[in-house]
Amino acid sequence: MTPDLFPDATLVVAPALPDLANQAAHEIRALLTRTRENLVLIGQKLQTVKAALPHGQWEAWLRREFDWSLSSAVKMMQVADAFKSVTVTDLQIDVRSLYQLAAPSTPEAARAEAITLAQNGAALALPTVQALIAKHRGVALPVAPAPPPLFAEGDAEAPAATITPSGRFGSGDYEWYTPAEVIARVREVLGTIDTDPASCALAQETVQAATYYTQDDDGLHQPWYGAVFLNPPYKTTLLERFGQKLLRELDAGHTTAAIVLVNNGTETDWFQTIAAQAHAICFPDGRIHFAHASRGTPGGSCQGQAVLYFGSHMQRFAEVFAAVGLLVQVVRAKDAGPQLALPQAAGRPSANS
């Protein structure tokens, strides 16, 4: 029997904690009616409740009290950490910019400069903040030339319809997107999603990456900075190219951590190549149900999935994805070279053989 990958948890609060949790919920609701400066106070109260509740119960409390996702709560707690010693009521920084500046992948120098500018009266919107972050990473925001098409003319593998994120391999239908439950877990591990290199505007309603690239942008010819979430188009040659691009961005230090959602094509060269460089992998217990672009209903994939983690927080990845499926740590990979010439599997031996 395959269980629901993301069942609703039942909140069980330790005897000493109901008053604390209930009072915090009341205070957070009051803060929500005020202005953005209360993001810091809300984040601090969320941190208090998360530390006090029994393990595994915080997410259920969020859902019960506010119907919030993990990603929303994590972003507010990051703001609380980043701006705990700053009087944000005096700063003209919009909410999206606060979230971006608070992201763990944002250089501390960029955050400090932004705060100084705001304290001197500058009004900071997201484009200004992104430019500051790019400057402190030692790069300029790219002005990309017109990208080449992802499919060459006459490409026999190119589908009739445009490939969009989360295409279901083998289904002939590519209008499927990563469900919010998966994205929430990705955010809980990475803290934020700085770059989604294979996406579209509709998918970003859920992913909410600071930077994303559409098919027209061609993410293969763009830099991938910070924490990356990648769900590449499911065409073999593109899976190979996106996987190789990720490894190059990691080697260059542009990508600091990444989570990749792909089909579990363990027998393929493209999977063996990127999985060999991953630090940990989760194989979900069941097929992830993707959201459909126009139908609005979830649909099962034609194949199982794998979630690959690249980064230094393997314990965090293990804690967040433990409820999803089998977790493995990559110890050693096959040497580079052609696929093994394995014989066809023989029939099951008899009891007397």
pLDDT digits (tens, 9 = 90+) for 58-73: 888 888 887 776 777 8
At CA 69, angle to CA 68 and CA 73, rounded to 5? 80
Which value, to the nearest 10 degrees, does the dihedral of the CA atoms of residues 199, 200, 203, 209 take? 60
Spell out the domain ranges in the chain.
18-136, 176-329
> Angle CA(235)–CA(177)–CA(324) in degrees, nearest 5?
100
Name beta bridge partners: 306.
262
The most distant pair of C-alpha atoms in the chain lies apart, rounded to whole Å, by 85
Question: What tens digit of pLDDT does each residue of 11-49 get?
Answer: 444 445 567 777 877 777 666 544 556 778 888 899 999
State the CATH architecture for 176-329. Answer: 3-Layer(aba) Sandwich (3.40)
Of 131-140, 182-191, 249-258, least confident by mean pLDDT is 131-140
Inter-residue contact 274 to 295 (CB < 8 Å):
no
Q: Report the C-alpha gap between 293 and 174 in whole angstroms.
A: 9
Instruction: Give the integer Cα–Cα distance in Å for 318 and 342.
Output: 32
Three-state DSSP class for 291? strand
